[in-house]
Copies of this chain bind each other. A is one copy, B any other.
Amino acid sequence: MARPKTYDREEAIRNACEAFWEHGYQALGVRELETLTGLSKTAIRSEFGGKEGLYLEALALYSDAAISSVLAPLKEGGMSQIIDFLEGLVDQGSITSSPWGCLVVNTGIENARIQSDKLHAATQSYWDALESHFAQALDNACARHEIAPDTDTAALAKGLVTAVMGVHAKNRSARAQTGGHALVALMVTYLDSLRTV
């Protein structure tokens, strides 16, 4: 039998996710990554396919975690769930609010040059998931007569996604997890105005 691994795979990916989230991809070297994740250079290479492979795993974890937790309520939810999600982006206690912004937003901006197909696919699928969850919740709201039946839910969902990106960008720029609160308040006001009284 072989020497046992000294790391827990999932915990290592979680650590990598946080590390990339905070520092960005390019600015984080493999050697520093070792200490932050508890992985050895050897493990990073053989187990994850090097720095980029680990980054993709981190992105996948981030994405899956968001979809299965904070996005889940939108599937059966309506206007209040959308508002809850938005407010979570700038709430101290929420896991979706962070002074580091959002790993997917950061990736989309920092790595626009690379144009790695895998990277683009990963970020794109995340935004698609967010958009379709918004659209679903809005359609639910329509069906439940929370908002007008002729509301353009598809366009509204797209706009919401971009607003979310703005909140994250602001949070990171301001190094404050409540940085984007003004836009959240504005969007909530707008969504409330759509409600059929």
Contacts from A to B (Cβ < 8 Å): 22-24, 26-27, 100-101, 105-106, 108-110, 112-114, 123, 127, 155-156, 158-170, 172-173, 175, 179-180, 182-183, 185-187, 190, 193
Contacts and interface: CB of A to CB of B under 8 A. Distances in A.
Given A156-B182, A163-B186, A165-B166, 11 more contacts: A101-B109, A105-B109, A160-B186, A162-B170, A165-B169, A165-B170, A165-B173, A166-B169, A166-B183, A168-B169, A169-B169
B123 A173 contact: yes
Contact of A113 (B24, B161, B163, B183): B24
> Which 7 residue pairs spanning A and B have beta carbons closest together?
A166-B166, A108-B173, A158-B182, A159-B186, A162-B183, A159-B182, A165-B169
